[in-house]
Amino acid sequence: MHHLMYNCKEVTRMVSESLDRKLPLYQRMGIRVHLFMCKFCSRYRKQLLILREAMRLQARYGEDTVSPITLPPEARERIKRSFINSLNKS
């Protein structure tokens, strides 16, 4: 019989694995129980999902896209001066 209580090491491995393939029901249930109780593994899962989505978007749009945010040269210079001033005050 399979157990439903996994430790963090097992859960992080299985969460990562679950992104590539469907896990058996008993493992999915064990992960759910663990994630309900463990905020760290729950965060890890959320971060993996965010990374997965970022990689999917990167693959979809590639590096060809131009960043929609550009700063005028004056703004860049003000930011640079402010940064240098804050470093000098430290």
d(CA 39, CA 8): 11
Q: Are 41 and 34 in contact (CB under 8 A)?
A: yes
Tell me: the pLDDT tens digits for 16-71? 999 999 999 999 999 999 999 999 999 999 999 999 998 888 887 776 555 566 78
Query: Cβ contacts of residue 79 below 8 Å, gap of 6+?
Result: 71
Task: Give me the torsion for CA of 5, 8, 9, 13, rounded to 10°.
Answer: 80
Residue 70, both tokens = 């550009």
Q: Is the pLDDT of residue 83 over 80?
A: no
**Cα–Cα distance measured from residue 15 to residue 18, given in angstroms and rounded to the nearest whole number:** 5
0.75 exceeded by pTM: no
